[in-house]
């Protein structure tokens, strides 16, 4: 995760001053939608800010993942002119670190086994119970507004038109179930390893109880995108466990994802 040293953070709520006082501050943002700052203190902290109303879900799910031993501790959350979200730092490096990318087979297997372990966790106390309905509603809304882009998906998931993708989505959406705790954005930058051992998940704002194939889709996608090959698609699904994989549902999820 790239870090660029800066002098100060503009607009930070006064409640966070105690954490910033005397600390070195680094900008580690990787998205135009949010700014992420690393606060170099004894154990390290991360401060994230974005438009008002956009980080409350992430704060809620980060707290839940932390209670499950799967994520950072939430120190504070404030929603003022913007949302501000402060957490502890987690150990290790994200999976786009060269340490892990240099051994793609091991990385693929680690990604798959880690995901299967997440999907085996008891989710009965999860505060977000129905990610499937939210997920399908967003796809429907984006179809209606013409938000269609398959340029970032491998050929095996490609659709020739929005109409074709929407037809697949309509025919298959009934198979999606709220069956496991999902990450919701299961990509290499959001999985932290410490010397190849799972450390924590980050960026869990799309998490909740949902269909495992949403995470499976993103697991295969991130290997294609970050390794520049689709050679690990079958290896990933094999390592996860084919007993829980339905390739037809994966195609339906792919159809939903091209609508954002």
Locate the domains of the chain by residue range. 4-88, 93-257
Task: Tell me phi and psi for residue 23, to 5 degrees.
Answer: -95, 150
Per-residue confidence in pLDDT tens, the chain, 260 aa: 677 888 888 889 998 989 988 889 999 887 778 899 999 987 899 999 999 999 999 999 999 999 999 999 999 999 999 999 999 999 999 999 999 999 999 999 999 999 999 999 999 999 999 999 999 999 999 999 988 876 666 565 678 788 889 999 999 999 999 999 999 999 999 999 999 999 999 999 999 999 999 999 999 999 999 999 999 999 999 999 999 999 999 999 999 998 87
Match domain 4-88 to its CATH number in 1.10.2020.10, 3.30.360.10, 3.30.200.20, 2.60.40.1220.
Answer: 3.30.200.20
- Token pair, residue 75, equals 């120190």
pTM for the structure as a whole? 0.93
Position 8 scores a pLDDT of 84
- DSSP letters, 56-118, are HHHHHHHHHHHHTTSBPPEEEEEESSEEEEEEE--SSEETTSHHHHTSHHHHHHHHHHHHHHH
Position 141 scores a pLDDT of 94
**Which residue among 83, 94, 185, 200 is the active-site one?**
185
DSSP symbol at 141:
H
Position 216 scores a pLDDT of 98
Helix (H, G, I), strand (E, B) or coil at 184: coil
Fold of 93-257: Aminoglycoside 3'-phosphotransferase; Chain: A, domain 2 (3.90.1200)
Q: Has 238 been annotated as catalytic?
A: no
- Token pair, residue 192, equals 């932290």
């Amino acid at each position: 995760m790239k870090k660029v040293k800066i002098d100060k953070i503009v607009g930070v709520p006064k409640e966070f001053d105690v954490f910033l006082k005397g600390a070195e501050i680094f900008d580690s943002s990787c998205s135009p939608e949010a700014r992420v700052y690393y606060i170099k203190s004894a154990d390290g902290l991360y401060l994230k800010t974005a438009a008002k109303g956009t980080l409350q879900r992430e704060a809620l799910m980060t707290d839940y993942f932390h209670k499950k031993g799967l994520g950072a501790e939430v120190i504070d959350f404030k929603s003022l002119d913007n949302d501000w979200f402060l957490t502890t730092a987690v150990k290790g490096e994200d999976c786009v670190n060269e340490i892990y990318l240099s051994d793609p087979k091991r990385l693929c297997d680690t990604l798959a086994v880690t995901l299967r372990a997440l999907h085996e966790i008891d989710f009965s106390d999860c505060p977000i119970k129905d990610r499937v309905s939210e997920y399908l509603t967003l796809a429907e809304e984006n179809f209606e507004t013409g938000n269609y882009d398959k340029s970032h998906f491998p050929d095996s998931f490609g659709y020739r038109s929005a109409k074709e993708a929407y037809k697949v989505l309509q025919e298959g959406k009934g198979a999606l179930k709220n069956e496991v705790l999902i990450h919701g954005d299961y990509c290499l930058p959001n999985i932290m390893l410490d010397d190849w051992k799972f450390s924590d998940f980050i960026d869990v704002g799309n998490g909740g109880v949902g269909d495992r194939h949403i995470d499976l889709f993103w697991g295969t996608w991130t290997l294609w995108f970050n390794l520049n090959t689709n050679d690990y698609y079958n290896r990933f699904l094999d390592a996860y466990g084919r007993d829980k994989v339905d390739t037809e549902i994966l195609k339906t999820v792919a159809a939903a994802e091209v609508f954002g």
